[in-house]
Amino acid sequence: MKPSRSGRCQVSLISILIFIRLRSSKHIQAGLQMNLHTKDSESRIFWTLCIMGAFAILSSTMSKNPVLKPFATSLGTPTEWTGFVASASTIPGILVSLPAASLSDILGRKKFLIIAGIVFASAPFLYVLITAWWQLILVRFYHGFATAIFVPVAEASIAELFPAKRGERISLFTSAAYVGRVAAPLIGGYILAVTNTSFHLLYVAVGVAGVTALIMGLAFLAERKGRSQASQEVSGETAKKMFGGWRVVIGNGGVLMASFVQACQYYASGAVEFFLPGYLTEIVHLDLFSTGIITASLIAVPIVARPYMGRVSDKIGRRIPIALGCVVSGLPLLAIPFVTAFPILLVLALVYGLGFAMVTASTPALVTELVPRELVGTSMGFLDMLMDVGQTIGPIITGFILASYLAYQGSFPALALVLLLSSVVFLLSGVAKKKLDTRHD
């Protein structure tokens, strides 16, 4: 008995539905596999940047702490030129952080990360060739380009990869880099001790760390797809786009305010790291071990606290962590010059480090949220440029105050005043009153 026409239609309809369902399932499975592949790729790039950052900052920090001052002295550096030796590596941050990060928006991140890696890998071996003190200034200047390029471009890459977790991920990257910074004086000091103060062998070790950072970049970094075709444009068009991006970022009041707060934080931290050891040994008369514990806490607390503070700012917004962090980091500086007890000084240093972490975990994420996606690198470069300005002039101005009759009783409160005023100005500016939506990224 033949099936009726309606029965045949029902069978055909069911077959079509089954076919569509199977095809849909294949597309869903393919989509899930692609999504998992994308997440794996993003995770690989992120952890590559973290490991690369740890070795890169280990290399750059070990080149100056604890070796730079004795090495400069052994070369017969005139006293009036020692400040230039110390600051030579910070000048490139002011000069190239913005242009490099801006060009990475146009030409791609990987190219500039590799350029930074080449400087990290090559600069340490130039120290071995130095025979005169003025050559040390030139090598330090060249070495400074590595960090000036690497940090803002790496942070811009992370901001693109994790638009909803920018605060946490950028902070985690910064903490990984700080691990290298903490380890540098320990490893460098050990090498100098066991090699009878062999500067050349230490700089070879610095070079090994730098080469490792370069290898990590070459082997594991990949350029993200979807980058603009600007890499094929003529140089004039690229320059036009870069300068146009600068005008947009500089004209953004929110970016200016966040960068101002960041500059104030590093204005204070640069001075605190430089002058606090002197106060602890000269005025409080602490031994070197106790002094080391307090100064190390200034670095250790941000390493631990930054990722957590970044996660908090991702959830509640940037405004409260930044404003409150300025106050938390400023108040201990008011008290430090009037305290001589080791336990209290240690607590003040820990509180200062926590406030510093609250601010610096939020400002990079904030500036990337205030600009279009194609200007994320430019915003990070501008932020780091002003950060270097603050870090450069902070110790200089504080040194003048220290040399006056105010001494330490005026130096640290002056730094506190800068931080407290930055909190007030930030609140009055109205920046980041609402939690920004990052889904458009």
- Is residue 437 scored above 60 in pLDDT? no
Residue 346, pLDDT score: 94
Cα–Cα dist 220/227, whole Å:
18
Q: Across residues 82-105, what is the average pLDDT?
A: 86
Mean pLDDT of 247-260: 94
Q: What is the pTM of this model?
A: 0.78
d(CA 160, CA 222): 14
Cβ atoms of residues 174 and 360 within 8 Å: yes
CB-based contacts of 246: which residues, under 8 Å, 6+ apart? 98, 102, 378, 382
| Cα–Cα separations (whole angstroms), residue 439 to 14, 166, 170 | 40, 12, 17
Q: What local confidence, expressed as pLDDT, does residue 190 receive?
A: 86
Tokens, residue 281:
């040994």
Residue % of the chain over a pLDDT of 90? 49
Contact (CB, 8 A) for 270 and 392: yes
Q: pLDDT tens for residues 301-333?
A: 998 999 999 999 999 999 999 999 999 999 999
pLDDT at 330: 96
Q: Name all domains of the chain by residue range, CATH numbers in brackets.
A: 44-223 (1.20.1250.20), 252-432 (1.20.1250.20)
State pLDDT tens for residues 124-180. Answer: 999 999 999 999 999 999 999 999 999 999 999 999 889 888 889 999 999 998 888
pLDDT of residue 51: 94
Reply yes or no on whether the pLDDT at 181 is more than 50: yes
